[in-house]
């Protein structure tokens, strides 16, 4: 795999002069494969790699389907500077929260404590050592021991929250972050991390509120201010995607949803919107007779497109049962055409 900010064309396996249809087909195929892995893999590192790939695919789709962005990207590629997101904030799941708080009133490099009973446990150091070795099961056990042995250690609760977050135990992560906030109300980090949990769930207003609190507590840290801005942008994007879907501009709505999904993967309505829009795109490959008779899939090529888009939609975590049923029926009829078990006219 190329790096997430690497060559989009190599990532998608297409030539640099690929047309729009080729880009759409390639990204739909790749997203179908990798989105499923991002949400279902039991292995933490494998899931993080898949999430990174999904984010890279969404960036590639966004840049290659916008003529102006693609022209700019091609110029960077020719110049040997393909990093499209050099200023992008780090992904929430990439690294654990720092051991020490950013420079603020308590001074640099000071572990977060809450009075004498907040002293850190040796179990916390062991947990950090396990994190550094990527032994996350051991780290989880040791972090739990740390919170049990020193229940007023805000740092222990912060690390436990991050470890739960890696397992997508969102309720457990949020509870641990809130405990860390209660024990160290002046620390911006648990607000930042709790904001990421809210964002993943699609609760963007709540995420923005936590990021704003982090920015208030750590005004010298640009990361927190950038998070507030990103949340505001995403709130606007989600509103626009809903409006575009309602207006029948499904491909535009999809493009916005793809820009959101890697940060708001737990947002069920966002998944359903992607599924609905993909279903409409798939329907576009059917022929609609002028005499008002039933639409049909006119060729094997059209059937392959219908199947690809419907399959890509089903790779998302859809909760709309009627939509899921329709997509499966679309795949069934497309397969009949592809395998010549039915004539295209039918």
Q: What is the CATH number of the domain that holds 197?
A: 1.25.40.10
User: Residue 112's closest CA among 196, 204, 31, 191?
Assistant: 191
- Mean pLDDT computed over 184-209: 95
Q: Are residues 84 and 173 in the same domain?
A: no
Number of domains in the chain: 3
The closest of 286, 258, 297 to 274, measured between CA atoms, is 258
Whether residue 271 sits in one domain with residue 223:
no
Question: Is 222 part of any domain?
Answer: yes
259 in a domain, yes or no?
A: no
Whether the pLDDT of residue 82 is over 50: the answer is no
Confidence (pLDDT) at 35: 66
Lowest mean pLDDT across 161-170, 253-262, 281-290: 253-262
- Residue 3 pLDDT: 36
Over range 67-91, report the average pLDDT.
Answer: 60
Asked if residue 5 has pLDDT above 50, the reply is: no
Nearest to 189 by CA among 85, 111, 267: 111
CA separation (Å) from 240 to 198, 234, 235, 253?
Answer: 20, 10, 9, 8
Answer for the pair 123, 143: CB distance below 8 angstroms, yes or no. Answer: yes
Structure tokens at 313: 């939609």
- Examine the pLDDT at 83 and tell me if it is beyond 90: no
Rounded CA-CA distance 220/218 in Å is: 5
Are 207 and 292 in a shared domain? no
When pLDDT is cut at 50, 70 and 90, the band that residue 112 belongs to is: very low
- pLDDT above 90: residue 327: yes
Q: In this predicted structure, what is the pLDDT of residue 20?
A: 83
For the cut 90, the answer to whether the pLDDT of residue 32 exceeds it is no
When mean pLDDT is compared across 31-45, 211-225, 328-342, the lowest value belongs to 31-45
Predicted local confidence at residue 173, as pLDDT: 95
* pLDDT above 60: residue 194: yes
CATH number of the CATH domain containing 7: 1.10.287.110
Q: Among 209, 233, 257, which residue terminates a domain?
A: 233
The domain of 333 spans 267-346
Residue 196 has pLDDT above 70, yes or no: yes
Say what the pLDDT of residue 315 is: 83
Lowest-confidence region among 107-111, 195-199, 204-208, 305-309: 107-111
Confidence of residue 167 (pLDDT cuts 50, 70, 90): confident
Which pLDDT does position 42 carry in this prediction? 56
pTM over 0.85: no
Within a domain: 240: no
Domain end position, chosen among 233, 258, 288: 233
Tell me if 243 is assigned to some domain. Answer: no
Tell which wins on pLDDT, 255 or 39.
255
Round the average pLDDT of the chain to a whole number and report it. 81
Would residue 245 count as lying in a domain? no
Question: Do 214 and 156 reside in the same domain of the chain?
Answer: yes
């Amino acid at each position: 795999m190329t790096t997430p900010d690497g060559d989009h064309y190599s990532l998608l396996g297409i030539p640099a002069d690929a047309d729009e249809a080729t880009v759409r087909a390639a990204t739909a195929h790749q997203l179908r494969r990798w989105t499923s892995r991002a949400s279902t893999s039991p292995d933490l590192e494998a899931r993080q790699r898949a999430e990174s790939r999904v984010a890279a695919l969404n960036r590639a789709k966004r840049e290659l389907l916008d003529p102006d962005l693609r022209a700019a990207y091609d110029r960077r590629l020719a110049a040997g500077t393909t990093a499209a997101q050099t200023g992008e904030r780090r992904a929430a799941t990439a690294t654990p929260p720092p051991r020490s708080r950013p420079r603020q009133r308590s001074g640099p490099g000071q572990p977060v404590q809450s009075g004498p009973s907040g002293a850190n446990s040796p179990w916390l150091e062991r947990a950090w050592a396990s994190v550094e070795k990527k032994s996350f099961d051991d780290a989880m056990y040791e972090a739990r021991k740390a919170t049990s042995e020193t229940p007023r250690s805000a740092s222990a609760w912060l690390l436990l929250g991050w470890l739960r977050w890696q397992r997508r135990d969102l309720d457990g992560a949020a509870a641990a972050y809130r405990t860390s906030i209660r024990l160290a109300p002046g620390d911006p980090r648990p607000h930042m991390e709790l904001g990421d949990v809210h964002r993943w769930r699609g609760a963007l207003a709540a995420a923005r509120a936590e990021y704003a609190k982090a920015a208030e507590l750590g005004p010298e840290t640009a990361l927190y201010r950038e998070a507030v801005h990103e949340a505001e942008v995403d709130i606007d994007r989600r509103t626009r995607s809903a409006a575009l879907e309602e207006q029948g501009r499904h491909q535009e709505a999809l493009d916005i949803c793809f820009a959101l999904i890697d940060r708001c993967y737990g947002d069920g309505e966002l998944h359903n919107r992607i599924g609905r829009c993909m279903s409409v795109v798939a329907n576009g490959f059917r022929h609609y007779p002028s005499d008002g008779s039933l639409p049909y899939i006119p060729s094997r090529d059209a059937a392959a497109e219908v199947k690809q888009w419907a399959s890509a939609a089903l790779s998302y975590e859809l909760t709309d049962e009627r939509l899921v049923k329709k997509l499966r029926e679309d795949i069934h009829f497309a397969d009949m055409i592809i395998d010549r078990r039915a004539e295209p006219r039918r």
